[in-house]
């Protein structure tokens, strides 16, 4: 899958092991693993919905975003990087059509 980042700063943090560890601490290792899973998946439908990845669509004020689990309540948040975003008739994402994502943040939104 094609992965881009919301900011250049975030991209630098995610591409350098030392920066990853410095900025994300104990979340660095699972974050690196999730980024690898996302990178090798041909579409979002290929990303596991079971732990440890637990890929899931968000709702409410985060509708249109997707999360994968890191540690505890921490999640890697991203969105499809398509124009227009591939959607199902019910409004959900058409996961099999999502081939590009944009990483937004690492956050504990709980």
What is the C-alpha separation between 107 and 110, in angstroms, rounded? 9
Confidence band of 17 (pLDDT split at 50, 70, 90): very high
d(CA 109, CA 28): 18
The pLDDT of residue 92 is above 90: no
Return the pLDDT at 110: 76
pLDDT band at 109 (very low <50, low <70, confident <90, very high): confident
Q: Record the pTM.
A: 0.93
How far apart (Å, rounded) are the C-alpha atoms in residues 73 and 82?
28
Give the per-residue pLDDT at 57.
94
pLDDT of residue 27: 94
Task: Please give the tally of structural domains in the chain.
Answer: 1
Tell me the two tokens of residue 68: 């994968």
CATH number assigned to the domain comprising residue 65? 3.30.2310.20
Q: Determine the structural domain holding residue 19 and report its residue range.
A: 2-108
The pLDDT score that the predictor gives to residue 49 is 95
């Amino acid at each position: 899958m094609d992965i881009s980042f919301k900011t250049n700063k975030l991209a630098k943090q995610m591409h350098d092991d030392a920066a990853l560890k410095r900025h994300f601490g104990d979340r660095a290792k699972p974050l690196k693993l999730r980024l690898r899973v996302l990178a090798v998946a041909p579409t979002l439908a290929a990303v596991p919905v079971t732990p440890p990845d637990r890929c899931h669509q968000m709702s409410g004020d985060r509708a249109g975003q997707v999360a994968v689990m890191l540690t505890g309540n921490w999640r890697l948040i991203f969105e499809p990087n398509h124009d227009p975003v591939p959607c199902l008739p019910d409004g959900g994402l058409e996961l099999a059509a999502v081939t590009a994502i944009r990483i937004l943040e690492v956050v504990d939104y709980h």
